[in-house]
Structures are given as C-alpha cells and as structure tokens.
Chain A
C-alpha cells in the first residue's frame, strides 16, 4: 500500500499553463478522483503521475520516494485507459499476463494470477477469447484485470467508463469500487462525470483551468462547496444576484437579516433545487421569501422540477413525490422560501463567504 504526495507540480505547453502548482496529499488505500471539465488539466496530471509526460517543476512522491524523473515503465503503476488499449493481437489471458511476463515471474504464478485477476473482474472462462469478440464493457474489464494483475503500487484510471453506455457504466463503476475496497489499492480516477465522482470516491479534487478548486469528500463537495466553480459544476445550483448591506442580505426587493457576516458588497446567493421550498412548504428558521410565477413543470416520477420566474432571477426548485395539484400549476404564482441555513454566498472572485468574514 502506498501514499502519494504531489508538491508544486507545474506544466506548460508553449504559452499555455496546463497545470499550475498542484499540491495533493493522497492517503494509502484512498479512492481519489480528479473531477473537472475537459481541458482542466486532470488527464495531464494523471499522465504526469504515470510518467507519460514530464512536469516542468514539482515533485511526485510515492511511499516517500521521489519518482518524478523515473521512466514510466519503472514506476510500477497500473493504468486503465479510456479507449481500453487492449492489445488486439493477444488473447484475454495473454493481455492479462503481459505485464507479468515483463517481471519474469515463474510460469505457474503467472497462470495463477491471470486466473485470479479474471475471476476478480468476473471474466473467468474468457481466457482464450480475442478482444475483437468482446463488448466494450468486457474489454474494459480485461483492462482492469491487466492493470491489477501486476499488483501495482498505484492504480490510475483515465475516464475508464466514458465510452460505455449508461447502464453498463453504473454496473462497472460499482465493480471498480468493490474491487478497490477489497484490495485497498491507492487509486486515482479521472472523470468529467460529477455523478460518477460522487458515487465512487473517498475524496474528490475539483479542477478547473489547471488549478485545484476544492478537495473534499463527496458530501463536502456537494453540500459545502468553497468555490463557486465547484458549486456550479457538481450537481445543479441556483445562483441569484444579491447584496450584503450591513448585516442584511438583499435579494431582489426583499431584505432579510443576516447577522453572521459583516460588511457590504455584491455577492451571489446559491441554493440547491431540493432546498427551495414552495407554496408555504413547512420550513424552520429564517429564510429569503420571494414570489414567483411557475413557467414550467417537469414531472420525473419520484420528483418534479419547477422553473420559476422571480424578480431576482430564474430559480429551479425540486419537489420530491409531488402531489397531483403540484403537477398542474404552470402559470400560477407561488410563494418561494430559500432557508438561510441552506444558502451559500459567493463573492465575485468565486470564494465562499464564511461566517464573520465578509471583508
């Protein structure tokens, strides 16, 4: 088992800075996800850890050893690729044995590890198949077995599920998570799919434009975003323009006492759709109250989404298990409550407003 430290890692292509001074501290056995939009630098970071690209500056430290200048093939890192990268000229068993042969293991042990690895990804019996005869999901299982067979110090996964269809994606991500838990292997997982990141990770690192926006558990990232980017990228979030005015929070024409922070200035109010309360829905504590017209109702079965037009801007609200008359209220005016306990405030520079520190 191994821990990974990354210190001040930076990389540029010509004038573009792809990674600017990344610091990460990943614990042994952790499932750590790099999440961000395309071009945010997450894949570059992963490939730099693997040794396929070299950093301009900074250190990569595994189990206390600096591996930043080690060639890729000596890093002992298992990698799973977005396009599977299964060797098409080799059978499934030969693919899995490929890395073991490089390590000159005895034949019997190779055979045993191949069987073990294939059983782990539920592909026992497929030893002699050629990749061309297998589905994408099966090929990626081979990719996973191949990477795990060498018992690497680190497992790196580069968007392993993005070429698969939705149902398979969920099935395989559960498998990946179970196998990782069972073997306790330190894993770094790259994805642009926020739902996938929330589902599998111990911790998530949200990245944007080559730098880290926020690192935290899935719960922290979703419920307590510290950056506007993380709040907007993960899940759905309503943003309303607002103003802090000496202990009051002003949204539209409404003002509500907000004693937690001092000072004044332009800010944004952020609230998740499931926290918006409609038509006198029971709520405790102080709240911003607005009136809004229901522009659209989207019925999704176990929940419904309401698009509301208010004086402060458009708000999406989510109501769980909606009753019948909730579904037929397009065009009506409703009362909207935004409970202050569920609201986050973001400054124009993207930082969250913490209690007692508006300035």
Chain B
C-alpha cells in the first residue's frame, strides 16, 4: 500500500538525518567540549582552561572585546538598517531599485573584502587619508575597535534593512492613522506604535547581526590590530604559531558558543509576548516630500548604501590598477588578473568544486528534512528541528576547529582533503535550507493537496504535481544563496585547508595578510562576479523578492 511505502521512506529520511547530524555536528562539537576540559599535559579532567580564561588578562580582554564588537556591530547595523528601511518604505525616494541593488551588493560581498577595502581607503597609507593630508586634514588611521565596529555596521546593515523593510511594509496603515486621530504626534507615533509593531523584526535582525559580528574572524584579524576577540584568539591558539594550545582554543570556542546562546535566549525573552497578528487592509503609502527635507532624505539613504557598497566598488576598481610588486602604481592594467591566472588559479576551481558539491548535498537533504519537519510533526522531527538551531550559533572558526580535532584520526580521518571543507560548509548551511523549505511548505497549505486528491490524484502524485512545482523556485533560490555563502566561506576553511585544497576566500585573506593587494583585488573581483551571477539568478527565480536573499 502507498501509505506504508511513504512511512518507510520518511522513516529512512528521519534516521539518516539524525545520523548525519550526530556525526557532523554533535560528535565534532563534543570533541571541543572534551578538549576544553582536559589538561594539555597530563590529560586529566580539569577546569584549568576555564580558570585561566577568567584570570588571564588577555582572555578577559578578548571576551570584553567580543562583546564590544558584537554590540557595536549590532547597534551600528540596526541604526543604519532601520533608518534606511524607514526612509525607503515611508517616503518617496527616487531610484529605489538602485538603493536595493547597492544594499544587496553590500550584503553578498565577501565579508573580509570590506575590512581590506576600508584599509585601502582609511588605513595607515589609505587613499582618503593621504588625500585629506594634502589639504592638511588629519584623521586617525582606521585600525582597532572603531574600524571593526564601522566595518561591521556597514557590512551587516543590509540584513536589518531587508528584514525590517518587510515588517514596515506589512503594518496596516489604519493603525497609524488611528494613532494620529487620537492626537499623537508623528514622532511620538513612531516610537509608540510603529517601532513596537516591528519589534519582532528588529529583534530578529539584532540577533542575526550580533551573532555575525562575534563570529566574524576576518575583520578583526585584518583591521583590528591589537583588538583581539575570541574568534581570533581561538584561531591563534589553535593555529599554533607559538606552539599551539588546543585545550585553550577549545575552551575559548565554548565561551563563544555560550555568548551566542545567551543572545538567542535573550531574543526569545524580548519576544516572549510580542507577536502581533494583523490583517493587512491598507498598505502603508510612501509620502511625497519636497524641498530641503526631500534632499536630506535622499542624501541619507544614498549615503548609507553607497558607504555599504563602497568596499566592493573599491576592490573592483583597484583590481584594474597597475602594480609593481605589492605597491599600486598610477594607471590601469590587467596585470593582477594575469598574475592570478598564471599563479593562483587553483583556488578558483577548488572553490567552484567544493561549493557545488556542498550545495547539491544541501539542497537534496535540506528539502527532505524540511518536508519532514513541516509535514510530519512528532517528537523525533521536533528535536531534529531544535538540533538544526545549533549551527546558527556556532561560529565558522569553532566548527573548523571541531572538525579538525575530530576528523584528524581514524575512524574518520579527513584532514587535508577537500571533503572536510565541503562537509563543514554543508553542516553549517544545511539548517538554512531545511528551514526555508519547511517555511515555504507551510505557506503552500494542505488544502491545495486535498483539492488534487479530490480530483483523482493519489497523495504522492498530488505532492509531486502541486506542492513540488510551487516550492521548487524557492528551493533553487535557496540553493543559489547557499552557493553564495559556500563560495565566500572563510573562517572554517581557514582552519581546514591545506596547500592543495586552498579556496578563494583563504587565498584572498592570505594575500591581504602578505600585502599583495593587487592579487587580492583581482581574486576578490572574480569572487564578487561569481557571487553576483548567482545572486541575480536567485533573485530572478524567487520572483524578485529581496527576502529570499537572507
């Protein structure tokens, strides 16, 4: 009977999903926990690493700095993102498509490109600083805490912008008009009605930007100088430039995960009773403004997105500049590209191969797991769903360390292979795919399948003929976005790569660290182009909804 077959198929999927997550998620992470609790020399169980963390100055500073980076990046991104969302949804702004495109460019540009481009502009020998110095305006070079927070703010604000734009566009205008008719001034209305209504969206984007900020490794590494955070400390201790201390690196990783978890629970607490349902009767309308106010609003909106997209623009421009060794010369040439093709083309192929392999696996298993979660709710799928939350809060660098500790020796020895890089990307991105499929399945609604059944199709056929065609564009768009993140993955790959499996982000990072800015620019431009093509395709497939890009 068909029902029995279905039962067996989905039971198989459920068991397989559990096995995969236990091997690729729970088992590696348990190795970190274990290593953090063992004394490096004696091998005995001890809390020595944790005691050290809370008594050693450099680690205390790293924890404090991680908080500063997280809160600073989150605050900056929230201010920029909410402001831009408000201006573009409530006022008539010319060139909204341009604004959205620039925001998307900022969103998908590789994260460490931002740090590097800001150095090019405002670093010790930055273009803008030097230019200003000639007219005797002196600004401090952009290193340290201010630089990190600035980069995070302009890097992560598009997340906030896209999430809160959606929420602002879904507020019933009558609610705001009601407040106005009750005698509330527009400014007060913003704080007493509008902002509380979009609080869930703001809280969600706050969580996202905080977690992204504290997990980011490239930015503090490139621009932070002596601004050490947990991610960079863990990488240093693990990478073993000074001998290595895996126990300590693991303990710092655990602290980093705990920090992320605290924020997740904090967000849940803020939102514990702030879910509003509203029937959308009247869409908010964009007010036309004229004169000085209009100029101000346009300057504000364009300044935010231009600054956000600036790193990507700079990188593209610089990739065509003439170089002599590591130094840029006046004039343009294709020198950097020639050098990339002649000497470092391997990372391009590695990146394409690894990303494609990871994405194929992500799309297939993500779709099956997503269906399981949304259409067969029970205890086993519910806990699976909860387990899928874990990769959201485990920074890439931690996942990298966990993988290399666990998969270095038999039974599963993968160190130095491309497979370990693929698997790390796979487990990090799988939850996004599974959850987006689950969400789109919930939107399709079971009555469409019922209708097909009543017209004479068996349940299996009804699913194939009705539900699958409706969710396939979403699955493909999600797959392309997974491809984008896979191509741009730096932190876990940096721990896991060896010479033959080097990827583009790692190569770019190393070039920046070595001061080879020409090579870095050219490689970044190639990566950016590949990213842009994938994003455009995803955008097209998803019916031009920006929300698909999150």
Contact = CB atoms under 8 A, between A and B. Distances in A.
Interface stretch (B260-268, B399-407, B449-457): B449-457
A301 interface: no
A156 B451 CA distance: 11
Interface in A29-85: 50-52, 71-79, 81-83, 85
B456 A150 contact: yes
Given A73-B462, A81-B447, A83-B447, A102 B454 contact: no
B448 A73 contact: no
B148 to A, nearest CB: 46
B458 interface: yes
Nearest to A74: B456
Nearest to B445: A83
B448 A87 contact: yes
Interface in B380-422: none
B450 A81 contact: yes
Given A73-B462, A85-B451, A87-B448, A102 B456 contact: yes
A210 to B, nearest CB: 22
B466 interface: yes
A89 B471 CA distance: 10
Given A78-B454, A79-B454, A73 B459 contact: yes
Contacts of A106: none
Contacts of B448: 85, 87
B291 interface: no
Nearest to B454: A79
A156 B465 CA distance: 22
A98 B455 contact: yes
B453 A52 contact: yes
B450 A76 contact: no
Q: Which of A87, A146, A156 has the most CB of B within 10 A?
A: A87
Contact of B456 (A50, A73, A85, A156): A73
Q: Which of B2, B448, B451, B465 has the most CB of A within 10 A?
A: B451
Given A81-B447, A85-B447, A73 B470 contact: no
A5 B285 CA distance: 55
B461 to A, nearest CB: 8
Nearest to A79: B454
Nearest to B448: A85
A99 B453 contact: no
A301 to B, nearest CB: 29
B469 interface: yes
Interface in B145-161: none
A134 B159 CA distance: 34
Nearest to A50: B454
Q: Which of B445, B448, B452, B455 has the most CB of A within 10 A?
A: B455
Contacts of B461: 102
Contact of A89 (B445, B457, B470): B470
Contacts of A71: 2, 458-459
Interface in B415-456: 445, 447-448, 450-456
Contacts of A280: none
B179 to A, nearest CB: 28
Contact of A85 (B450, B459, B465): B450
Contacts of A83: 445, 447
B3 to A, nearest CB: 8
Given A83-B445, A87-B466, A89-B470, A73 B450 contact: no
Count class of interface residues, chain B: 20 to 34
Nearest to B462: A73
A102 B453 CA distance: 10
Interface in A114-135: none
Contacts, number: 66
A77 B454 CA distance: 6
A99 B456 contact: yes
Nearest to A102: B456
B466 A73 contact: no
Contacts of A87: 448, 451-452, 466
A263 B450 CA distance: 54
A88 interface: yes
A81 B452 CA distance: 12
B454 A103 contact: no
A143 to B, nearest CB: 8
Given A83-B445, A89-B470, A73 B451 contact: no
Interface residues of A, number: 28
A147 interface: yes
Contacts of A79: 450-451, 454
Given A87-B466, A88-B470, A89-B469, A150 B450 contact: no
Nearest to B452: A98
B469 to A, nearest CB: 5
Nearest to B3: A71
A77 B456 CA distance: 8
A146 B466 CA distance: 15
Nearest to B449: A85
A127 to B, nearest CB: 18
Contacts of B469: 89
A87 B457 CA distance: 14
B81 to A, nearest CB: 30
Contacts of A99: 454-456
B454 A147 contact: yes
B185 to A, nearest CB: 36
B450 A102 contact: no
A73 B453 CA distance: 5
B458 A81 contact: no
A75 to B, nearest CB: 8
A76 B457 CA distance: 10
A73 B457 contact: yes
A73 B445 contact: no
Contacts of A102: 455-457, 461
Contacts of B450: 50, 52, 72, 79, 81, 85
A146 B2 CA distance: 26
A279 B445 CA distance: 57
A72 B454 contact: yes
B456 A76 contact: yes
Contacts of A89: 469-470
Q: Which of B445, B454, B456, B461 has the most CB of A within 10 A?
A: B454
Q: Which of B450, B452, B453, B456 has the most CB of A within 10 A?
A: B456
B447 A73 contact: no
A13 B458 CA distance: 25
A77 B453 CA distance: 10
B455 A146 contact: yes
Contacts of B445: 83, 85
A74 B466 CA distance: 18
A156 B452 CA distance: 14
A115 to B, nearest CB: 18
Nearest to A83: B447
Contacts of A88: 470
Nearest to B460: A73
Contacts of B454: 50, 72-73, 75, 77-79, 99, 147, 156
Contacts of A98: 452, 455, 465
Q: Which of A52, A72, A73, A102 has the most CB of B within 10 A?
A: A73
Contacts of A147: 454-455
Contacts of B2: 71
A89 B448 CA distance: 11
A76 B455 CA distance: 7
Interface in B443-496: 445, 447-448, 450-459, 461-462, 465-466, 469-470
18 contacts: A71-B459, A72-B453, A72-B459, A73-B453, A73-B462, A77-B454, A79-B450, A81-B450, A83-B447, A85-B445, A85-B447, A85-B450, A85-B451, A89-B469, A102-B456, A143-B451, A147-B454, A150-B456
Given A73-B462, A87-B452, 6 more contacts: A52-B453, A71-B2, A77-B454, A81-B451, A146-B455, A147-B455
The 3 closest A-B pairs by CB, nearest first: A99-B455, A102-B456, A79-B454
Interface of B: 2, 445, 447-448, 450-459, 461-462, 465-466, 469-470
